[in-house]
Structure 1
Amino acid sequence: RQKGLTLGLVESASGGLISHRITNVPGSSDYYKGSVTAYSNEVKIKVVGVREDTINQYGAVSSQVAEEMAQGGRKLLAADICLADTGIAGPGGATPGKPVGLFYIGLSHQAGTYSQKHNFQGDREQNKRSAAEAALGWLKEYLMSLK
């Protein structure tokens, strides 16, 4: 709010938990535009604008998809900054090289689009909570780095 920027979210494995945390803050309506819970690949592609080729090449849980989710969400929600997450909350869903607890957080702003990789070690609920905390922590750091 202090920077005068608006925020949008595209959540997948966190299932709306980041949005829940944002809207728990009084006054969040001053800067928070809204969110899309893009749990299925179909919603990632048809609503958010992730390229099907990107999902086919890298998988839904990848830095590339997290970044495209953040870019697409920023455009769709007309937000200055968009955070996105994609991951494997557990207990199932792991594949070779992509264990339960693997999350990618995407962040898109006019200055660029970035992603972070995280490996959480909890159960489903803990992994979702850890992803939300990581995303919000990164957002805070990013905002503080802006001049």
Structure 2
Amino acid sequence: MPSLETQLSKLLQDKGLTIGTVESATGGMIAEWLTSIPGSSKYFKGGLVTYQNELKIRLAGVKYETLLAYGAVSPQVAEQMAAGGRKALGVDICISDTGIAGPGGETADKPVGLFYLGLATPEGVWNRKFIFKGDRNKNRESAAAAALKWAIERLGGATTP
């Protein structure tokens, strides 16, 4: 089975669509994976790494009030990051992530490994919640893989479990 990046690359090219990313906890890993495919400039326009809230607001269009009400690691912020990134980057599809990679940073209601992904397309904006159980790097990799799988599914492709 081809890699997730290869599968998504083919789907995007077959459908003539562009993609971009707005990343927080993955720190650019999703964009790195997408650009590992030769010819990715045909469909990947760019990505934003908005690690700090200030940049989530300024670059990705997240509302200060949303951050205040729900915190950076929330489904609302993931959706606003994806929608804002889609607009800022001028892409058909935008994937976002926000999470707690670990080993620290957890709170009573937000454990290490909690990630929210956002996905924005012309049809709408959605979020998905994940709780990964690895170390920092494994959690980031799991989130990046989940983001690519979700984009593949959204475009009508099938992925391996």
- So what's the TM-score if we normalise by structure 2? 0.89
**1:127 and 2:139 are equivalent in the alignment:** yes
Distance 1:24 1:144 in 2: 22
Distance 1:3 1:68 in 2: 25
**1:140 and 2:142 are equivalent in the alignment:** no
For 1:20, the aligned partner's letter is E
1:118 is paired with a residue whose SS is strand
Match of 1:14 in 2: 26
Which one of the candidate residues 31, 37, 40 is aligned to 2:49?
Answer: 37
Distance 1:82 1:53 in 2: 22
**1:58 and 2:67 are equivalent in the alignment:** no
2:104 is paired with a residue whose SS is coil
Match of 2:99 in 1: 87
Deviations 1:76-131 (A, max 9, x none): 00001100000000001001110000000000001000000000000000000000
For 2:56, the aligned partner's letter is K
The count of aligned residue pairs is 145
Match of 1:115 in 2: 127
List runs of 5+ in structure 1 lacking aligned partners: none
Match of 2:82 in 1: 70
For 1:121, the aligned partner's letter is K
1:61 is paired with a residue whose SS is coil
Distance 2:21 2:59 in 1: 13
For 1:116, the aligned partner's letter is R
1:114 is paired with a residue whose SS is strand
Cα-Cα RMSD: 0.7
Distance 1:77 1:49 in 2: 12
Alpha-carbon offset, residue 36 of structure 1: 0.3
What percentage of aligned pairs have identical amino acids?
57
Distance 1:47 1:112 in 2: 20
Distance 1:26 1:67 in 2: 29
Deviations 1:16-61 (A, max 9, x none): 0001100001111100000000000000001111000000001100
